[in-house]
Structure 1
Amino acid sequence: MPDQTAIEEDAPASELPVTLDMPGKVADFLRAADLEPAERAALDHGMAVRRGQGYTLRVSAAPAVHRQLLARCLPLDGAQGVPVVPAQRKARREYENRVDALAADARH
C-alpha cells in the first residue's frame, strides 16, 4: 500500500479521484451502455444512496472518467433519435453541472 500512496501523491491534482453524486436515472442508463473498463469500474464501485423515490450513485473516479461518462449519456438529452424523457434530461443536466463544477474548481 505505501507504493500506491506515493503514486497517488505524484499524480496531477486534476487526475486524482473525485467523488460525485450521479442521479440514478443517469446511472441506470449508463449501466446498459457499452462502457470502457475504467468507466464500468467506476459505476460498479459506486455506492447507492436512497433519495426519496429514487437513488443517487456516489461515484469516485478521475475527472476525465466523469467527463467520459457524461459524454456517453448525451442521448438522454434527445440526441441520436432517442425520445426525450424530461426526468432523464433533468438528471443528465444535474450530473453535467457537477462535472462542470470540477473544471471550474480546477481553474481556481
Structure 2
Amino acid sequence: MRTAYLEGRSIAALARDHGVSRGAIRTAVADLLPDHIATEEESSAPGLPVTLDVPGKVADFLRVTELEPAERAALDQGVTVRRGQGYTLRVTAVYAVHRQLLARCRPLDGAQGAPAVPAQRKARREYEHRVSTLAPIGP
C-alpha cells in the first residue's frame, strides 16, 4: 500500500482495492510514512505557511485561550478533520505562529500545580513533535 501511494495511486483507489474506508487509508498512510510527511514539511522555507494537524484536545484548549490576532485567525481558518471519536484541526500558518500556539498550550502539561489530564498532555506532545519537525535550519 505504501509503495502504491508513493507511486501516485489515489486514496480512493487504495480503499476500493483493500475494501476499507478512505479514512482508514489516510490514517494508515500517515502512520506508515511519517518521515515522508516530515520531509515535505521541512523543505518549506520558514516564512512560508505550512499546514499541520492540531489535535482536537489542543485546539479546544486554544479556542478558549486569549490569543494574538494572527494565532486566532489561523485557528479560525483551520479545517476540521474527523478522526475516529475525535478530530484534528488542519491549521495553515507560518512556523512562528505554530510555535506561539504550542507555547500557549503548555498548561496542558499540568504546570503550576494544576492537575494534568493524560490525554491532553499526550495531544500537546504530539503537536509539539509536529512543530519540532518544522524547525528552521540556520541561525
Give the equivalent residue in structure 2 for 1:87. 119
Where does 1:25-44 land on structure 2 (aligned, <5 Å)?
Answer: 25-44=57-76
Greater Rg by CA: 2
Residue 45 of structure 1 aligns with an amino acid whose one-letter code is Q
Q: Indicate yes or no: 2:128 matched with 1:96.
A: yes
Q: Indicate yes or no: 2:92 matched with 1:63.
A: no
Residue 137 of structure 2 aligns with an amino acid whose one-letter code is R
Residue 127 of structure 2 aligns with an amino acid whose one-letter code is Y
Root mean square deviation, CA, Å: 1.5
Residue 23 of structure 1 aligns with an amino acid whose one-letter code is P
Cα offset for 1:15? 1.3
Give the equivalent residue in structure 2 for 1:107. 137
Provide TM-score, normalisation by structure 1: 0.84
Give the equivalent residue in structure 1 for 2:3. none
Cα offset for 1:68? 0.2
Give the equivalent residue in structure 2 for 1:20. 52
Provide TM-score, normalisation by structure 2: 0.66
- What number of residue pairs does the alignment pair up? 95
Q: Indicate yes or no: 2:137 matched with 1:72.
A: no
Cα offset for 1:40? 0.3
**CA distance in structure 1 between the partners assigned to 2:94 and 2:107 by the alignment:** 23
4+ residue stretches of structure 1 with deviation over 3 A? none
**CA distance in structure 2 between the partners assigned to 1:57 and 1:90 by the alignment:** 16
- Greater relative contact order (Cα 8 A, min sep 6): structure 1 or 2? 1
Q: Which digits, 9 at most, give the CA deviation of each residue in 1:44-76, with x for residues without a partner? A: 000000000000000000000000000000000
**CA distance in structure 2 between the partners assigned to 1:22 and 1:61 by the alignment:** 12
Structure 2 residues without counterparts, runs of 5 or longer: 1-43
